[in-house]
Amino acid sequence: MALVGGTAGVAAAHTSGAQVAAAKSPSASAPVFQVGAVTAKGDDFYVYEVDGKGGLKPREARDPWKDLSEIAQVDRDADGRHDGDYFITENGRDLKFHGITGKDTNLVPNYGYFYHGLISPGDLGGGNAADLVALGKGGTANVRFNKFDGGLVSEIQLRGAEWGTYTELAGRGDYSGDGKTDIVAHDRDGVLWLYKGTGDAQKPFEARTRIGGGWNKYHHLFSNGDTDGDGRSDLMAIDNDGALWLYKGTGEAAAPFKAPVKIGNSGWNQYRLVF
C-alpha cells in the first residue's frame, strides 16, 4: 500500500481507504508532510503526524505495506502538501507512481537495479511538479523532471566522482532561504554536503558546499519539511541506537541547520523504511 493524497491535501491508504490528514505548509518553500514508517518485521505501516512544535504525535497504525523497496512522498503541485508517491517495488525493482486516481502507474521497469536512495525534494526544474533524484551506479545521480500525473518530462544524469561517495540523499523544500529546492548528501566519511537548487532543469544544482562532519553516527536521514512550524524546512536523523533527532532549518546556506534536538528516545531501528 502507498500513501496518496488529493489536491485537498488528504492522504489515503493505497488499498484500504484509510485516511490521514496532511498539514498545510506555512509557506511554499516549507512543505509539511507526515512521517511514514514500515517495520522490518511484518511490514507494519505507521504514520506520525507533526505537532507543529518540533515533535511528532503518537504513531497511528495503517494496513501493512507489501512489495516496497523504497518510497518517496511527493508534492506534485507545489502547495506544500503530500499528494502522491513514487516507489520502487521489491519484486521486479520497478519504479511506479501512485496518485489521486488510486491506481499504480508503471514508469520504469527494473529502475531499482540501477538507482537507489530515491527522494523527491520538490520542484527542481521550474515545472511545479515534484521531481525525483536518485543515486546511480558508476558515480552518477539521476534527476527526473516529472509531470503532474507522474509521467516523465525529461531527465539528466549528474556525473562526477563525488556522487559515488554518497550513501544517501535527503531533502524537502528550501534549506538556503532563496526559495529554491535544495538537497543534502551524506558521504561515506560522515560528511554532510549541501546542494543548493538553481531552478534550472539543465543544471539543477550549484556546486556542493560542506555542512559538517560526524554524520556517520546516523544511519538514516530524511525530511518531511517544516516540523516545528517556523516556515523553514528541517532535517531528521536516526542514530545507530535508534533515537530520532531533529535538525531545525535556519534558512541560511552557510549554516542551514541548528544544533540537533532529540525528539525520539529509541525504537526507530525497528523500521526498515522511514520517509
How far lies 68's CA from each of 6, 162, 233, 257, in Å?
A: 21, 28, 26, 31
Q: Which residues pair with 155 in a beta bridge?
A: 144
pLDDT tier, 26 (very low <50, low <70, confident <90, very high otherwise):
very low
Q: For residue 271, how many C-alpha atoms fall within 13 Å in the half-sphere facing its CB? A: 25
| Long-range interactions of 262-270: CB distance < 8 A, separation 24+ | 263/54, 263/55, 263/56, 264/56, 266/241, 266/242, 267/242, 268/37, 268/238, 268/242, 268/243, 268/244, 269/238, 269/241, 269/242, 270/39, 270/40, 270/41, 270/242
Mean pLDDT of 126-131: 86
Least confident of 33-47, 148-162, 170-184: 148-162
pLDDT tier, 24 (very low <50, low <70, confident <90, very high otherwise):
very low
Q: What is the pTM of this model?
A: 0.89
Mean pLDDT of 241-270: 97
Mean pLDDT of 86-107: 90
The pairing of strands 84-88 and 271-274 is: unpaired
163 SS3 class: helix
* Burial class, 42, CB count within 10 angstroms (exposed 0-12 / middle 13-18 / buried 19+): exposed
pLDDT tier, 63 (very low <50, low <70, confident <90, very high otherwise):
confident
Supply 193's cell numbers: 554536503
Q: Are the beta carbons of 122 and 104 closer than 8 angstroms?
A: no
Task: From 228, 226, 166, select the one nearest 193 (Cα to Cα).
Answer: 166
pLDDT tier, 127 (very low <50, low <70, confident <90, very high otherwise):
confident
Nearest-angstrom CA–CA distance, 5 and 112: 24
Class (C level, CATH) for 35-274: mainly beta
pLDDT by residue (tens digit) across 186-227? 999 999 999 999 999 999 999 999 999 999 999 999 999 999
Supply 251's cell numbers: 534558512
Per-residue pLDDT at 201:
94
Mean pLDDT of 68-87: 91
DSSP 165-211: GEEEEE--S-SSSSSS--EEEEETTS-EEEE-B-S-TTS-BPPPEEE
Cβ atoms within 10 Å, residue 231 = 14
Per-residue pLDDT at 149:
84
Cβ atoms within 10 Å, residue 83 = 24
Q: Which residues pair with 36 in a beta bridge?
A: 47
